[in-house]
């Protein structure tokens, strides 16, 4: 009798031991918190009970959804152990972000991947390509050994970085992304533009920084780990060039103005976010990538 009482007392109010066991086993299997939260909503758990089961702040404890104006440098959702996540409760097919209609084309919970349509207008895509074009150079990847950057045969694209908020289009887009993914503008790295010619590719990789590499501590000083990626398609190659997730497996084909978002709540392959840019077979591919950090990126 008393053991039953003890077991019950370790279960938060309103929840059941079976549920808590399920949460524990799902977490241990690498299912991210946002996916668990959504699964609980899907089977009818009330929002605050689901949040309590996951150790997340309950509604009313959190500041209102992020707006750059209201919360420019304040507490981030990552401090609640969370990751960027669009507001897809109620399965909307479109999300209005500052008067711009973003379409939700696909949503997968494990790994967490969401495909958006109409995130950028055709004019915005063109403007970003034209501002980037004169500044393109052979892409580098972060060198885990030194914490600096190096040319890498796995990545045969050309690229450049904009400063955050560098021009009007970039600033507007960054604001839109922050609102769409409920993640502060300040936690975003500068937008990166990549250009792939036929044959160019980006072999499968993770976007987080490998914890045990000697260069990682110095990389993490600038805003902590990456916790989410948004790859935005600025044009359409005629064939090839999809963003692949070999462990799902899934391939997202580039359509101008569309984007694929994925998040990872820990720097671990268990997040199943291995992904790459398949070789472009015909035509060219332009993308803009926004990487999101745990904290303010400086
Ligand atoms: O080219 C792609 O589709 C993927 C790009 C990518 O993985 C990245 O920018 O981190
Ligand atoms: Fe990547």
Residue closest via CA to ligand 1's atom 8 equals 289
Among 144-148, 157-161, 212-216, 244-248, the range scoring the smallest mean pLDDT is 144-148
* C-alpha span between 12 and 56 (Å, rounded): 12
pLDDT digit string (tens) for 46-82? 667 777 787 765 554 433 333 333 332 333 333 334 8
Q: What is the mean pLDDT of residues 97-120?
A: 97
Q: Which residues contact 13 (CB under 8 A, 6 or more apart)?
A: 52
Determine the pLDDT at residue 21.
81
**Res. 202: pLDDT tops 90:** yes
> Which residues fall within 8 angstroms of residue 245, CB to CB, at 6 or more apart?
111, 113, 251, 252, 262, 272, 273, 274, 275
Q: Which of 188, 276, 293 to mutate to test the pocket of ligand 1 (most atoms within 8 A of CB)?
A: 276
* ipTM of this complex: 0.99
Determine the Cα–Cα distance for residues 121 and 236; give it in Å rounded to an integer: 14
**Whole-angstrom distance, CA of residue 277 vs CA of residue 259:** 13
How far is residue 65 from each of residues 49, 70, 179, 186, 291, measured CA to CA in Å? 19, 9, 8, 15, 20
Look at residues 146, 159, 278 and name the one whose alpha carbon lies nearest to residue 214.
Answer: 146
pLDDT score, position 260: 99
- Give whole-number Cα distances, 196 to 45, 120, 235, in Å: 45, 20, 11
**Which atom of ligand 1 is the closest one to the Cα of 202?**
1
| pLDDT above 90 for 83 | yes
Query: What torsion, rounded to 10 degrees, do the Cα atoms 156, 157, 160, 161 define?
Result: -90
CA of 194 to the centre of ligand 2 (A): 11
Protein residue with its CA nearest to atom 9 in ligand 1: 289
Ligand 2 centroid–CA 114 distance in Å is: 15
Name the strands in the sheet holding 100-108, side by side, starting at the edge strand that comes first in the sequence: 94-97, 100-108, 113-117, 259-263, 226-233, 285-293, 192-196, 158-161, 137-138
What pLDDT sits at residue 16? 79
48-52, 127-131, 179-183, 195-199, range with the lowest pLDDT: 48-52
Give the residue from 220, 114, 225, 131 showing the smallest Cα distance to 177.
114
Angle CA(267)–CA(273)–CA(172) in degrees, nearest 5? Answer: 90
What's the 51 CA to ligand 2 centre distance in angstroms? 30
Q: DSSP letters of 42-67? A: HTT--HHHHHHHTTPPPTTTSPSSP-
Looking at all shown ligands, the one closest to residue 195's CA atom is 1
Residue of the nearest CA to atom 5 in ligand 1?
Answer: 277
pLDDT tens readout for residues 213-238: 999 999 999 999 999 999 999 999 99
For the chain, the C-alpha Rg in angstroms (whole number) is 20
Q: Which atom of ligand 1 is nearest to the CA of 254?
A: 3
Q: How confident is the model at residue 5 (pLDDT cuts 50, 70, 90)?
A: very low
- Whole-angstrom distance, CA of residue 103 vs CA of residue 213: 38
Pocket of ligand 1 (CB under 6 A): 202, 207, 229, 231, 243, 275, 277, 287, 289
């Amino acid at each position: 009798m008393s053991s039953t009482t003890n077991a019950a007392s370790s279960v938060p109010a309103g929840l059941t031991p079976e549920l808590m066991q399920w949460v524990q086993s799902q977490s241990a299997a690498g299912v991210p918190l946002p996916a668990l939260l959504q699964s609980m909503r899907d089977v009818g758990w009330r929002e605050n009970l689901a949040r309590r089961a996951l150790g997340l702040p309950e509604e009313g404890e959190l500041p209102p959804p992020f707006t750059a104006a209201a919360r420019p440098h304040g507490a981030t959702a990552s401090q609640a152990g969370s990751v960027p996540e669009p507001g897809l409760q109620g399965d909307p097919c479109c999300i209005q972000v500052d008067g711009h209609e973003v379409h939700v084309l696909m949503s997968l919970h494990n790994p967490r991947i969401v495909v958006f349509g109409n995130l950028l207008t055709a004019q915005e895509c063109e403007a970003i390509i034209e501002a980037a074009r004169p500044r393109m150079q052979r892409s580098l990847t972060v060198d885990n050994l030194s914490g600096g950057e190096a040319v890498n045969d796995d990545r045969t694209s050309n690229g450049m970085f904009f400063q955050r908020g560098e021009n009007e289009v970039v600033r507007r887009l960054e604001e839109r992304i922050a609102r769409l993914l409920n993640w502060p503008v300040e936690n975003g790295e500068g937008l990166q533009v990549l250009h792939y010619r036929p044959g160019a590719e980006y072999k499968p990789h993770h976007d987080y920084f490998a914890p045990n590499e000697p260069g990682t501590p110095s990389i993490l000083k600038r805003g902590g780990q990456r916790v989410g990626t948004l790859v935005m398609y600025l044009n359409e190659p005629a064939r090839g060039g999809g963003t692949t997730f070999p462990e799902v497996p899934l391939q997202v084909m580039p359509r101008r103005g569309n984007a694929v978002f994925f998040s990872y709540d820990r720097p671990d392959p268990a997040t199943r976010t291995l992904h790459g840019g398949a070789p472009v077979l015909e035509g060219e591919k332009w993308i803009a990538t926004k990487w999101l950090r745990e904290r303010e990126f400086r």
